[in-house]
Structure 1
């Protein structure tokens, strides 16, 4: 008869599992083996506390589909801490206190000579983090109820800044709080997709040091990303940036016609990621958005099946749209799936071919990531050559 695993066994089992798919530095690995996640999740059974999954700690009071706050997926936590590269003695600001678990990990990494400040806009969340950190022995972590978009200038400058919430734009207030040569890690959203980007500050320029796919609860107070329904039932949607025009009526009319499929020559294995197609397209095409097809629309077969129904890249051009699809073909047993485009509207063939061009560009260098620099939107600092996406407070420049 098997024995119930101990807390230590569950925690080490979680970290061992994370190491199978995520590279961790030795200090991050040891911190995750030391800090008790269950101590920050009272009322959650141990098996759930040590599963590699997010745990909601406060529902959205507005009734939205995403929680107001949650404990992030442990493997994503470890990945972002590796990106952050904390050194002993660092001064750290975390935006989004959550349960307090991440702040405890940061305190372990920076040591007794360092300083960790964690902030949250919600008083209940901040109080939860403060209470859990105190109980777990991390009384020295500074917890503040603050608007994350403003940051915490009280304890600045910071050697490291980490956002545990999704950002559509980089707040101008953060620049003065990040030390010269400091590193900022945040889940940044553009053209409907989110990447955890590690950025190094040199004057008025942030330069990319690493990028990973991720997803996070969005920060409160940014509304530059819009959601537009394409049908009356609101089961087919486009998530787009405020600078992208989406004609819901024209696109909805196009979706009532017969769509076409155009397949590329790019094939993938069953577990192979193809999210790089989306990333590649954003580095040169301002028509890229996110298509969201809800289960009811899929059940009614209102559209041809997208690659991932709730989040697939789509090109929008007036009254025409083309989105990524994956179809199984048996020609290559190692890579049985083929990428292509489904398109609707009067210019379906042309737009589908444009998407195929992006797929082929990705296929020629599947693991490549772009060069990314970020400057303040009002800065006169010259950016590197590349494709520019201008937001309200920042300017992104991407190039391959």
Structure 2
């Protein structure tokens, strides 16, 4: 493709990112107009490469699971804005691909420096080739497990993580300057949000939370969600995504799935453009044993479930019963009411419980965003926020509170 056409694609992508509100600052906008991202994935469709919402998968494992990708431009722009980058900064990128390091390098400029690290030598080789071909000399590519210290590195002004992380290893705090920002897709009870943290001595304090999706981390920090299957017919599978949740009684829940629905409505509505991302995070902090219900479209077509989401839907589980969040259209154009559907002996009560918390969110927290703090594992309880919902990980204690 001719260079003028490439520039047209870059300009069109950039305008799209501006319209979406993902790219706001002049240097981030200029970076997207400059980086020739398609050269990192020559086998991918070029139009898709320059589509704001499309992530380009670059590697899968032997089971077909995606283990490496170039993030969607909207996500890249969002993380860059969260990082609050400036010329002259040093930036560590955890999870390489090439284009994102180039974007970071554009923003920090010739006086700044980017180190991009990945555990997979295939990924770093591809990133190195791309960065060399596109002339970025202020980027160093390393092959290493970022769970550990990065050799010969001094603390960075910014750390940007481009893989899903379930924990914050001590090395990341050591690699971040006091007052520096860590932007990380943090998985909390199955829900992933890209969080901008600011380092305050031995803790991290959130300064922005956004919805996102990333491939999971590999290496020593790997901690994947497990799927408990409730219905295993091709094209209509239903399961629960577990992230530190108690082991469910899958046999009893599979039977419950086939029982009549108990439906309750909340009276709480959302406009078509409103996201339920903050509601779902509220539910997981307000309720115990709330894994995510994942279902294939065929399960909805058959009538097993009413809602399908690639990220999963909050489901409250109690023994052989469960209830999950759902929606229905209202008489108003493009407006939907939130509710819950329960199955099993206690399905009705669980649906009512979900609806109660949806109503609490609407009254007390709608429009608010979670405040998240991360402390080292072993930190005494009295140092954590007293009203925080806590998630315990191997390296850290995560506290989530709401205004």
TM bin, normalised by shorter chain, reads over 0.9
Q: State whether structure 2 residue 177 is matched by structure 1 residue 176.
A: no
1:389 matched residue in structure 2: 391
Tell me if the contact between 2:376 and 2:395 (Cα under 8 Å) persists in the aligned partners: yes
Tell me if the contact between 1:244 and 1:286 (Cα under 8 Å) persists in the aligned partners: no
Where 2:263 maps in the other structure, the secondary structure is strand
Superposed displacement of residue 153, structure 1: 4.2
Deviates more, 1:76-85 or 1:245-254: 245-254
Measure the CA separation in 1 of the matches of 2:199 and 2:68: 28
Measure the CA separation in 2 of the matches of 1:274 and 1:26: 30
Measure the CA separation in 2 of the matches of 1:377 and 1:85: 28
Tell me, which stretches of 5 or more residues in structure 2 are unaligned?
Answer: none
Measure the CA separation in 1 of the matches of 2:255 and 2:43: 49
Measure the CA separation in 1 of the matches of 2:308 and 2:302: 17
Superposed displacement of residue 261, structure 1: 0.9
Where 1:254 maps in the other structure, the secondary structure is helix
2:205 matched residue in structure 1: 207
1:340 matched residue in structure 2: 339
Measure the CA separation in 2 of the matches of 1:354 and 1:50: 44
- Residues 291-321 of structure 1, C-alpha deviations (whole Å, 9 max, x = no match): 10113323332x2312637621111122211
Cα distance change of structure 1 residues 358 and 309 upon mapping to structure 2, 3 Å threshold:
farther
Q: State whether structure 2 residue 314 is matched by structure 1 residue 316.
A: no
Measure the CA separation in 1 of the matches of 2:139 and 2:96: 11
2:78 matched residue in structure 1: 79
Deviates more, 1:30-39 or 1:88-97: 30-39
Tell me if the contact between 2:209 and 2:370 (Cα under 8 Å) persists in the aligned partners: no
Measure the CA separation in 2 of the matches of 1:150 and 1:321: 40
Alignment of 1:1-400 (within 5 A): 6-23=5-22, 24-65=24-65, 67-98=66-97, 100-221=98-219, 222-223=222-223, 225-233=225-233, 235-301=237-303, 303-306=304-307, 308=309, 311-330=312-331, 332-333=332-333, 335=335, 337-364=336-363, 365-380=365-380, 382-385=383-386, 386-400=388-402
CA RMSD after TM alignment: 2.1
Tell me if the contact between 1:191 and 1:282 (Cα under 8 Å) persists in the aligned partners: yes
- Residues 343-384 of structure 1, C-alpha deviations (whole Å, 9 max, x = no match): 111111211111112211232343211211111112347112
Cα distance change of structure 1 residues 229 and 103 upon mapping to structure 2, 3 Å threshold:
same
Aligned residues: 393
Superposed displacement of residue 223, structure 1: 2.4
Measure the CA separation in 1 of the matches of 2:392 and 2:315: 20
Cα distance change of structure 1 residues 243 and 55 upon mapping to structure 2, 3 Å threshold:
closer
Superposed displacement of residue 55, structure 1: 4.3
Where 1:283 maps in the other structure, the secondary structure is helix
Cα distance change of structure 1 residues 224 and 125 upon mapping to structure 2, 3 Å threshold:
closer
Cα distance change of structure 1 residues 263 and 238 upon mapping to structure 2, 3 Å threshold:
same
Where 1:333 maps in the other structure, the secondary structure is coil
Superposed displacement of residue 389, structure 1: 1.3
Superposed displacement of residue 276, structure 1: 1.9
TM-score of the superposed pair, with normalisation by structure 1 = 0.92
Tell me if the contact between 2:245 and 2:290 (Cα under 8 Å) persists in the aligned partners: no
Tell me, which stretches of 5 or more residues in structure 1 are unaligned?
Answer: none
TM-score of the superposed pair, with normalisation by structure 2 = 0.92
Tell me if the contact between 2:55 and 2:73 (Cα under 8 Å) persists in the aligned partners: no
